[in-house]
Amino acid sequence: MTLETEVQSLRQVPMFRDVDPARLKLLAFTSERVQFAGGQRFFSQGDPSDAAYVILDGRANVLLNTPGGEIQVAELGGNALVGEMGILSDTPRSATIMAAEPTTALRIDKRVFLELLAQFPQMSLAIMRELAKRLERTNAQLVAQSSS
C-alpha cells in the first residue's frame, strides 16, 4: 500500500471529500501508517487527544467506560475517521478505541492537522461543512426523538 492508496482512502472519508487532492496527499504524507494488533488500543477514554486516525484496513470497536465496566457502543470499519472531534475541540478522549482484529490505520498528528487547517482555508471550509452537516443531522434526530 502506498501514498496513493492512502489518498484514495482519505477521499472516502466524508470530512475530506471536498479537499483538494494535492492537500490530501500532503495530509497522507505527513501522517504515519501504523498497525495495531487485535485487542491493542488506539487510545483510551480520558487520554489527551494527540491524533486522529483513519482506518485503512481492519475493524475497531468503540468502548465506553461505565460503572459496570467497558461496553462496546459501535464498530468502525474501513475508511472510518476516529478521534477528530477530540483534536478539534482539544478535549480528552471521550471513548476508547480498540482494534478488533489486526488493523492498519493512518495516524494524523494533531499539530500537523491543525497547521494544515490554518494554512489552507479551503480545507477548513470542507471540515466546517462536514461539521455543520453533522449538527444538522443531530438536530434532525433530536426533532425526530422529541416528536416521537
Partner 1 sequence: MEKSLFRYIWTHSKRDQMIICAVVLASLPFYFMSLDLPRQIVNQAIQGEAFRDGNPTAPFLNLSFDWPGWLGGSTWEIFEGFQVSRVGLLMGLSFVFLFFVIVNGAFKYWINVSKGVLGERMLRRMRFDLFSMVLRFTPDALRTVKSSETATIIKDEVEPIGGFIGDAFITPVFLGTQATTALVFIMVQNVWLGLIALAVIAVQFTVIPRLRRELLRLGKQRQLAGRIAEVLDGIEVVHVHNAYGWEKAEIGHRLFNLFTIRLKIYNRKFFVKTLNNFLAQLTPFFFYAIGGYFALRGTLDIGQLVAVIAAYRELPPPLKELIDWDQQRLDVQVKYDQVTQHFAEDRLGPMLEAREAAEADQPLIGSFVGEDIRVAGPHGDLIIEGGAFTVELPASVALISNGGAAASMLARILARRSLEFSGRIRIGERDLTQLPMVVTGHRIAYAGVDPILFPGSIRDNLVYGLRSKPLGRLKEDGQEMDRRIAEALRTGNPIESISDQWVDYERLGAKDEDELDRILLDLLDKVGMGDTIYLFGLAGRIDPERHTSLAERLVEARHRLRDTFQSNGMGDLVEPFDPERYNSQATIAENLLFGVPISDEFKGRNLADNAQFRSAIDRAEMTDDLVQMGLQIAETMTEIFEGLPPGHSLFEQFSFIGADELTEFEAILRRRGRGEGSLRREDRTRLLSLPLAYIEARHRLGLLDDAMTGRIVEARGIVREVLEKAESGGVEFYDPEGICAAAPLRDNLLFGRVSYQVANARARVAEAVAAVVRELDLQEEVERVGLEYQVGTAGRLLSPQERASVNLVRCLVKRPDILVIDGALAPFDEARSQQLMQLLLELFDQQSLFMVLPNDRQAGDFDVQMRFRDGQIITDKTAAPAPRPSSPKPDAPQRIAGEVA
Q: Which residues here bind partner 1, judged by CB under 8 A? A: 1-4, 6, 22-23, 25-26, 29-30, 32-36, 40, 42, 104-105, 107, 112, 115-116, 119-120
Q: Order the strands of the 69-76 sheet from edge to edge.
A: 41-43, 96-99, 60-66, 69-76
Find the shortest distance in angstroms from Cβ 61 to partner 1.
15
The residue among 30 and 79 lying less far from partner 1, judged by its C-beta, is 30
Distances, alpha carbon 100 to alpha carbons 24, 84, 124, in Å: 27, 20, 32
The residue among 2 and 66 lying less far from partner 1, judged by its C-beta, is 2
Burial letters 116-146, b for 16+ CB under 10 A, else e: bbeebeebeebbeebeeeeeeeeeeeeeeee
The residue among 46 and 138 lying less far from partner 1, judged by its C-beta, is 46
Grid cell for residue 19: 479537499
Find the shortest distance in angstroms from Cβ 86 to partner 1.
17
Residue with cell 461543512: 129
The residue among 13 and 26 lying less far from partner 1, judged by its C-beta, is 26
Find the shortest distance in angstroms from Cβ 106 to partner 1.
10
